[in-house]
Structure 1
Amino acid sequence: MQKQAQPERTLLLETRHLTRILPAIVPVTLVKDINFTVGEAEFVAITGPSGSGKSSLLYLLGLLDRPTEGEVFINGKETHTLDKTELAHMRLAKLGFVFQFHFLLPEFTALDNVMIPMQKLGKLSLAQQRKRSGDLLAALGLGDFLHRKPMQLSGGQRQRVAVARALANDPDLILADEPTGSLDSVATEQVFQTLRDIVDQQNTTVIAVTHDMDLADRMDRRIHLVDGMIDYDRTQMPTSSGS
């Protein structure tokens, strides 16, 4: 699960004039003229009031939606001209996703759910997939639950399985949309610490949309949106764990 530490932080993601407008009789602007860069091993919170464009921005960063204007660069590669097949491959190979609701397949075990992205990418043998899936789950404290189905797990455990699934293909960037929004305080802390460890121990970047200001204060940086635009983008000193 460990990634080799890099000697210095490198540029991972860049947006240039990123804009998303929904066509209608009266067009709706979801995000407007978003410009920022994110480096390796950053833990970034995206905050803002309801309707400010947080999830819309995350979907653009994750190549799940296409911008109306502007560009997203990942590892220096411009993504606007990629076709659907190329976008799907980049999402599988470079990005991991965690949502508010885990979206685990209920008929499959935790082990099998984590293997799904590996099967789609097709780089590892079945034996290698099983080993990596088991190693990821064990590293997240779920080594005794490999063969349990989602309904046999607690909410926090299910969300940690979803985190393991996001890590399956060793992504450079994990995008999380309200990953603790449906959890109680204990499970929220477990999932937050899991994401914190991913940043600190694996040099993986995590960008998380959150409405929880206590959690946002404990991340390394906050990008705050208002009316689809960046209100402020600041580096912050994270508070200590559990404070």
Structure 2
Amino acid sequence: MTTAIAPKAETPPLLETCDLTRILQAVVPVTLVEDVSFTVGEAEFVAITGPSGSGKSSLLYLLGLLDRPTRGSVLIGGNETADLSSAEMAHLRLEKLGFVFQFHFLLPEFTALDNVMIPMQRLGKLPAKEQLDHATGLLADLGLEEFLHRRPEQLSGGQRQRVAVARALANSPDLILADEPTGSLDSAATEQVFESLQKIVDRERTTVVAVTHDMDLAARMERRIHLVDGRIDYDRRQ
């Protein structure tokens, strides 16, 4: 007698949106994002592009659970997020997501090392010594081992943004969400930050979804989701 082997359970996508819509309620309602559906898997490097006002940042804020949709859903690891409380969403962001914005938002009174350790301290999973070692390793991996004890004002723009990337990686997230991460940088610093993000995808197998207006950078990412008027115009691999 043979025993039937149960089919292997299919792993859900890392990130999935279903008919995601965000309408800003005003005297005349404004639709920021409308009926957006897509999935993103492990170790993808995805560009979100589109003209000004197309809903790129609004979409990223929905993906990062920084805003709630008017309708539709965001699933992370197959888990619906719509019914989570504000506290549950905050914990999920801290544990599973990392953020890099156009402006680094480093705390000016703390060193680069301290800034990277802050998310680990908030999550509280690692002992203090392991937090220190992990933060030191992240900064070293991004070429910042000489700048551990410098405050943001003592760093260049590209160095500050790479510290922000290290901070986004502090809790080993599954997904990094970046909103114009090179928008305020010169060409040399832009290349440094892009290479840092590419390294994260290639070596750490972490997924990066980045809003960018830089079409040269977008062309170097493996996939592009292009928005027009809050809707997906095309979603293609490059």
Instruction: Give the TM-score taking structure 1 as reference length.
Output: 0.93
Superposition deviation, residue 73 in structure 1: 0.3
Does residue 1:79 correspond to 2:86, yes or no? no
Q: Structure 2 matches for 1:77-116, cutoff 5 A?
A: 77-116=79-118
Which ranges of 4 or more aligned residues in structure 1 deviate by more than 6 Å?
A: none
SS at match of 1:19: strand
Find the partner of 2:177 among 167, 175, 179: 175
Find the partner of 2:194 among 192, 195, 201: 192
Name the residue aligned to 1:6: none
- 8 Å CA contact retained: 2:12, 2:78: no
AA in 2 matched with 1:130: L
AA in 1 matched with 2:150: R
Structure 2 residue runs without a partner (length 5+): 1-10
- When Rg is computed on C-alpha atoms for both structures, the one with the higher figure is 2
Structure 1 residue runs without a partner (length 5+): 1-8, 237-243
Instruction: Give the TM-score taking structure 2 as reference length.
Output: 0.95
* CA distance in 2 between partners of 1:211 and 1:10 (Å): 30
Find the partner of 2:218 among 212, 216, 219: 216
What CA deviation, in whole Å up to 9, does each residue of 1:173-229 have, x standing for no partner? 000000000000000000000000100111100000000000000000000000000
* CA distance in 2 between partners of 1:35 and 1:95 (Å): 20
SS at match of 1:144: helix
SS at match of 2:69: coil
Name the residue aligned to 1:207: 209
Name the residue aligned to 1:225: 227
Superposition deviation, residue 125 in structure 1: 1.3
* CA distance in 2 between partners of 1:167 and 1:200 (Å): 14
* CA distance in 1 between partners of 2:12 and 2:25 (Å): 37
AA in 1 matched with 2:28: V
Q: Structure 2 matches for 1:39-78, cutoff 5 A?
A: 39-78=41-80
* CA distance in 1 between partners of 2:147 and 2:45 (Å): 28
What CA deviation, in whole Å up to 9, does each residue of 1:53-95 have, x standing for no partner? 0000000000000000000000011000110111011000000
- 8 Å CA contact retained: 1:156, 1:191: yes
SS at match of 2:218: helix
- 8 Å CA contact retained: 1:10, 1:40: no
AA in 2 matched with 1:201: R
Identity of aligned residues (%): 77
SS at match of 2:165: helix
SS at match of 2:147: coil
Find the partner of 2:165 among 163, 166, 178: 163
Does residue 1:148 correspond to 2:121, yes or no? no
Q: For this pair of structures, how many residues does the alignment match?
A: 229
* CA distance in 1 between partners of 2:160 and 2:174 (Å): 22
SS at match of 2:146: coil
Name the residue aligned to 2:13: 11
Name the residue aligned to 2:3: none
Superposition deviation, residue 10 in structure 1: 6.5
